[in-house]
Amino acid sequence: MLNESEIYIAPASFGQRRLWLNDCLDPGRPTYNVPVALQVSGRLRPELLRAALAALTGRHETLRTAFGVEDGEPVQLISAALEPVFAVVDLGGLPAGRREAEARRGLALEAERPFDLTRPPLLRTTLLTLGPDDHRLLLSLHHIVTDGWSLGILVRELLALYAAGAEGRPAGLPELPIQYADFAAWQRQHLQGETLAVKLHRWRRRLEGAPEVLELPADHPRPRGSAGQAGALVPFEIAGPALAALRDLARAGGATLFMAVLAGYQALLARWTGRHDLVVGVPVANRNRLETENVVGFFVNTLALRGDLGGDPAFRQILARVREVAVEAFAYEDLPLDLVVDELRPEQRLHLPSQFQVALGFQPPAVPEMAAAGLLLRPLTLHSQTAKFELSLQLSELPDRLTGFWELDAARFERATVQRLSGHLARLLAGVVADPDRPLSALELLAPAERHQLLVEHNDAATAYPREATLPGLFTAQAARTPDAPAVVSAAGVLTYRELARRAAGVARRLRALGVGPDDRVGVRLQRGAEMVVAFLGILQAGGAYVPLDPGYPEERLAFMAADAGLRTLLTAIEEIADEEADPPAPPPGLTADHLAYVIYTSGSTGRPKGVAVTHRAVVRLVRDTNYIDLTPGDRVAQASNASFDAATFEIWGALLNGACLVILDRETTLAPDLFARALAEQRITALFLTTALFNLLANADPACFRTLSHLLFGGEAVDPTRVAAVLAAGPPARLLHVYGPTESTTFATWQTLDAVPPDAWTLPIGRPLANTRALLLDAGFQPVTIGAHGEVFLGDDGLARAYFGSAELTAERFVPDPCGFGERLYRTGDLARQRADGAIEFLGRRDSQVKIRGFRIEPVEVEAVLGTHPSVAECIVVPRRGAEGVGLTLTAYLVRRPGSALTPRQMRGHLKARLPEYMIPSAFVELGALPRTPNGKVDRAALPAPGSRAEAVFVAPRTPVEEVLAGLWASWLGAERIGAHDNFFDLGGNSLTATSLTAQARAVFQVEIPVRGLFESPTLSGFAERIEELIATAAGLRLPPIVPVHDLREGDGEVPLSFAQQRLWLINEMSRGASPFYNVAGALDLTGELDAGALAAALSEIVRRHEALRTSFRPGAGGPPVQIVHPPRLLPLPIVDLGGLPPERREAEGLARLRAEARLPFGLTAAPLLRARLVRLDGECHLLSFVLHHIVSDGWSLDVLLRELAQLYTAFAERAPSPLSELPVQYADFALWQRRWLAGDGLAPQLARISHHRCGKGLAPVV
């Protein structure tokens, strides 16, 4: 304990403040322990060592320092005198063979023992004696009072003091000109005003806009939580000729060895990550003033050095850029990192260091070998158990070698991975020494064995299959084997293989007569059904290639596709020609597996769709003798996909070329989860492919609906692991496959069986290549990327399409020669992925802007191109956004209208619907005054507001007492006029310092222990208030049971007890002896724009369906307390009052008067619903919407929920899309019963005791 009369208080330095904050965020961890271990040979006298430690403690104030808080700021508490902590452990009694191991174990344990920053000293010394002349000495300090430079001072002075004591003489150490507290005070005084502004300006100029996250080739996803995870070390060394050559190369470039290593490190990171703009943390001693040289303290600073590796530079260029940045940075090295971070204020993330995830330390050995007084001290390496960064390289330069280690975050990296990556750096440096003018993209990183593993072993998927066969040939053979087996089932009935072959033959003969032959394209404009399959097969039997033309597409798009494909023949009805009696025609002469089977159009970046021309061989490779699925004549394969989507290729030909039955499901069935689930069971489906979006929708509605399937395949968008886990838990299909592949690789290219979902999974792999397929991950220089690194997916072998029809330039751009020399061509997908150590590939996203919406690939620029043709649009941009739960990606269009023109979402939708298919229409349209732009003139996508969350969005006032108190605290600290429930502390200008200060004040106000990290993890006012309310409840001894749905309450008459709040309102209503509007809760909206009244009414009715409280009435119980009755869902009336006949100047006043009158009408609690809505029409684009509820079924929070859901549902229903909202886990009736049961048990007494406690004046401090 500290005696206040024996301590004095000094300000903490900026660096100390940062470490103090880190300790507050993650207390009780050894992350910032700084141990130094020494092997001591010679006759050591422990009593002299203790005396030397005492003298050392007296000499350096930091060794007598603890930390406290004053006015929310950390301060140093420096004791006038303090005994050192010194422990002696004698291991001499152990067997000689065990002593060394036990000493190592003891050193490691003591080095990892955390410090309490409030309890000095922050230095612990342990002496382990193995024998009379053999000792191990450990000095363990907290980084807040020391640094690497200080360790050398400590050991050197400790040995000098020991030697002086042993020899009975003064140590002769020079008097220290300053103490660390003097430096801290000077730093605070120096770094302010113009001096601080100049330095901050320099760093802001260098670091503004720098990427905050560098995605390293790690083994595991980044965990939540602050830096300082479990760590491990991997040694690294360069010596001999390699080191001499690197020194020569640095010298030739006017640089230091450090700069050369940093240039190599940045080059390595660029190759690993594909990022050419990156930041590396570099620790510097920061002792550029003479008086600091012999002071023990935390002087070290970390510089954020930004690397520019753009333009594929050679190493000489990289070195020159590094030299320029480093020289400037070192001139400003005294500006503490936390001031730089607070100035830039990147997004607050607890799971990342503030500005970088990688570091490079380049320092001389902290403690060299020393000798005195008959003792020889040699430094020992302690294996670190914590890591401050995700990956750092710590090096020391010696005359004959550059030696050190990688420090890795074990939560992200396996040690073997970093050993492999370490080899990459060694090879890269050897390469740049050999040829410093070689471009970055051409530098060799991979060992031959790793290259072989990536290119060959992970692509060993060759199998025997009918490679030279054609689709009609294989079908004819199948029909001969199973002529009477069902081939196609549809709403029109059943076609056997014999009947399908006959009808297709009729189509083929007529097409042959029209001159259709190999590679001739024939359009098919038919609805999904058996006739479409007949048409496809007939075209193939004629030798042609089919081109699906969806009748639902706009005429303009269909006309373009027909012209682009060069169609001379179009099938729009085939009944007559298919019914002609005809034997299958002979195969057309010259038809081979290399001829076209079909052309499918996908979205194109030029604003026009592009036709993907696929051969027979590519389709056969997909469905015959493959490694991912084994379809048999006993299978029933669903066709749930549009024929214009390439998944239909798998469905149709997977069934018909394997003797299975194709079951065609209509579009309405596939969009309704209940109908779809019923169809799967009734049609006895065994194999099914779904887009990821549809899989998510069905899994959310009924995760058990797939249990009867033998094969369920899904893919096309980023996977949601929680949906997969739900299906696996509910009773999965026999095989659940995650598949991946663009149209250009014929539907599927990779596959992965899913039988478990790891608890922390953020994605699930797309697996390994299909049979006779190659999947490579290459970087921008077409080099294979290492395991774990991000690379673009390149696909090859028999699944590749022939070309983009009629577009030789685009074909050459995307179908490229195999740079690895293993095949003829590769298709560059534009998809980014990483490969795991087991060879499985994980999809990460798109390299360009292309996205998949509901399984369809879309180029947003194509939508932009069409939007830009509207006369009211001055400029626009279309971006993908993650929708509500279960919805997946949607498109949002941002528009700037031309002066003097009108622009409404309905106009835009109509314009697009005439030219684009439905799946390419944005879900939301946001009008802006101007598109936000970056300094270089590009559109700043990150600054685009989310739909419905514009700056002028509705302000939500604090809604609870804790929120109100917190809002006052936030306003005082942040200087804000008002604080809303959804405001973010850091968005309002908060930083790490104000966060800690505010948290300290909140602790005092609410009298609960609030961790500092709470505000970082829950930065919104409502989120932080919720955490405090939980802490208050816990402090009061409340253990709240979960609220669970009680389904039997909804059976029969649906009677449910009232909550206590409802019972109070019921009694007030009964005592008033008649209905009163006093407890009406009213709201109104001013709606501007074209209104879909039907969609609005449907949205309101859906809200009533979702929320039982809105269809509840109340009546007296049978001889007991009142009950609430939950009624079945029904449509909510929406009366419309049209005031268009009034003069324009009177309409709004009249409309508002009517709404006020509506709000004053009382409710009768015995009649449901206790919600009324009314729409007042002022003119075609101006409406007023009112809604009135009784307080017994709603409150202020409920209005927020109602408005939010109304906006989401109206948007969806206006687009004729399903509800984006997931079902509610519990209803208000469940809460009422939970409350009754809990407070009837042990829950009431603690609540009453707490209220009594506060009434006695011992509770929360009042806040004015």
What pLDDT digit, counting tens, does each position of 247-286 carry? Answer: 999 999 999 999 999 999 999 999 999 889 999 999 999 9
Task: Provide the pLDDT for residue 696.
Answer: 82
Tell me whether residue 256 is in a domain.
Answer: yes
Q: What percentage of the chain reaches a pLDDT higher than 90? A: 55
Residue of 702 and 126 predicted with greater confidence: 126
Is residue 267 domain-shared with residue 307, that is, in the same domain?
yes
Is residue 1117 domain-shared with residue 1194, that is, in the same domain?
yes
Query: Can you tell me the mean pLDDT for 429-447?
Result: 95
Q: Which two tokens stand for residue 715?
A: 């893919």
For 888-934, the DSSP string reads -EEEEEEEEEPTT----HHHHHHHHHTTS-GGGS-SEEEE-SS--B-
Task: Provide the pLDDT for residue 1250.
Answer: 46
Residue of 45 and 1196 predicted with greater confidence: 45
Is residue 120 domain-shared with residue 265, that is, in the same domain?
no
Is residue 1121 domain-shared with residue 1156, that is, in the same domain?
yes
Give the chain's end-to-end CA distance (angstroms, integer): 36
User: Above 60 in pLDDT, residue 935?
Assistant: no
Instruction: List pLDDT tens digits, range 458-492.
Output: 999 999 999 999 999 999 999 999 999 999 999 99
- Domain containing 912: what range? 859-943
Tell me whether residue 876 is in a domain.
Answer: yes
Give the predicted TM-score (pTM) of the model: 0.74
User: Above 70 in pLDDT, residue 1062?
Assistant: yes
Task: Provide the pLDDT for residue 885.
Answer: 43
| Torsion from C-alpha of 222, 223, 225, 226, nearest 10 degrees | -30
Name the nearest CA neighbour of 791 among 822, 821, 826: 826
> How far apart (Å, rounded) are the C-alpha atoms in residues 249 and 259?
11
Is residue 994 domain-shared with residue 1102, that is, in the same domain?
no
User: Above 80 in pLDDT, residue 556?
Assistant: yes
User: Above 50 in pLDDT, residue 1215?
Assistant: yes
Is residue 1081 domain-shared with residue 1169, that is, in the same domain?
yes
Q: Which two tokens stand for residue 238?
A: 């360069």
Tell me whether residue 1206 is in a domain.
Answer: yes
Query: Can you tell me the mean pLDDT for 339-344?
Result: 79
User: Above 50 in pLDDT, residue 1261?
Assistant: no
Is residue 1000 domain-shared with residue 1134, that is, in the same domain?
no
Query: Can you tell me the mean pLDDT for 1146-1162?
Result: 90
Banded model confidence at residue 1048, pLDDT cuts 50, 70, 90: low
Tell me how crowded residue 1254 is: count the other CB atoms within 10 A of its CB. Answer: 11
Point out the domain boundary residue: 981, 1015, 1035: 1035
Name the nearest CA neighbour of 117 among 76, 72, 73, 57: 76
3 state DSSP class of 1051: coil
Instruction: For residue 4, give the DSSP letter.
Output: G
Tell me whether residue 353 is in a domain.
Answer: yes
User: Above 50 in pLDDT, residue 954?
Assistant: no
Sheet holding 803-804, edge to edge: 569-571, 521-524, 545-548, 596-602, 610-615, 803-804
Is residue 871 domain-shared with residue 993, that is, in the same domain?
no
> How far apart (Å, rounded) are the C-alpha atoms in residues 1085 and 1083?
7
Point out the domain boundary residue: 991, 1011, 1035: 1035
Mean pLDDT across the chain: 87
Banded model confidence at residue 1039, pLDDT cuts 50, 70, 90: low
Residue of 949 and 159 predicted with greater confidence: 159
User: Above 90 in pLDDT, residue 636?
Assistant: yes
Task: Provide the pLDDT for residue 136.
Answer: 96
Query: Can you tell me the mean pLDDT for 881-891?
Result: 62
User: Above 70 in pLDDT, residue 919?
Assistant: yes
Banded model confidence at residue 952, pLDDT cuts 50, 70, 90: very low
What phi and psi, each to the nearest 5 degrees, are found at residue 789? -85, 155
Banded model confidence at residue 1038, pLDDT cuts 50, 70, 90: low
74 forms beta bridges with 69
The amino acid occupying position 1195 is D
**CA 282 from centre of chain:** 28
> How far apart (Å, rounded) are the C-alpha atoms in residues 950 and 954?
9
User: Above 50 in pLDDT, residue 957?
Assistant: yes
What CATH number is given to the structural domain containing 66?
A: 3.30.559.10
> How far apart (Å, rounded) are the C-alpha atoms in residues 117 and 135?
29
Name the nearest CA neighbour of 519 among 552, 543, 495, 497: 543
Q: Under 8 Å CB-to-CB from 902, ≥6 apart: which residues?
A: 872
Tell me whether residue 169 is in a domain.
Answer: yes
User: Above 50 in pLDDT, residue 429?
Assistant: yes
Residue of 889 and 508 predicted with greater confidence: 508
Task: Provide the pLDDT for residue 2.
Answer: 41
> How far apart (Å, rounded) are the C-alpha atoms in residues 1212 and 1221?
10
> How far apart (Å, rounded) are the C-alpha atoms in residues 867 and 877?
9
Count of domains for the chain: 5
User: Above 90 in pLDDT, residue 652?
Assistant: yes
Tell me whether residue 436 is in a domain.
Answer: yes
Task: Provide the pLDDT for residue 866.
Answer: 82
Instruction: List pLDDT tens digits, range 483-524.
Output: 999 999 999 999 999 999 999 999 999 999 999 999 999 999
Instruction: List pLDDT tens digits, range 186-243.
Output: 999 999 999 999 999 998 888 887 877 788 998 887 775 544 567 888 999 999 999 9
Is residue 16 domain-shared with residue 154, that is, in the same domain?
yes
Residue of 400 and 923 predicted with greater confidence: 400
Residue of 885 and 779 predicted with greater confidence: 779
Tell me whether residue 542 is in a domain.
Answer: no
Tell me whether residue 40 is in a domain.
Answer: yes
Q: What percentage of the chain reaches a pLDDT higher than 70? A: 91
Is residue 1157 domain-shared with residue 1020, that is, in the same domain?
no
Is residue 177 domain-shared with residue 314, that is, in the same domain?
no
307 forms beta bridges with 278
Instruction: List pLDDT tens digits, range 684-732.
Output: 999 999 988 788 878 877 899 999 999 999 998 878 888 899 999 998 9
Angle at the Cα of 863 from the Cα atoms of 858 and 865, rounded to 5 degrees? 130
Banded model confidence at residue 1251, pLDDT cuts 50, 70, 90: very low
User: Above 80 in pLDDT, residue 385?
Assistant: no
Angle at the Cα of 1114 from the Cα atoms of 1108 and 1119, rounded to 5 degrees? 130
Point out the domain boundary residue: 396, 424, 445: 445
CB 389 within 8 A of CB 282: no
Is residue 1124 domain-shared with residue 1231, that is, in the same domain?
yes
Sign of the alpha-carbon torsion through 866, 867, 872, 874: negative
Residue of 908 and 292 predicted with greater confidence: 292
Task: Provide the pLDDT for residue 3.
Answer: 47
Task: Provide the pLDDT for residue 1071.
Answer: 79
User: Above 60 in pLDDT, residue 602?
Assistant: yes
What CATH number is given to the structural domain containing 912?
A: 3.30.300.30
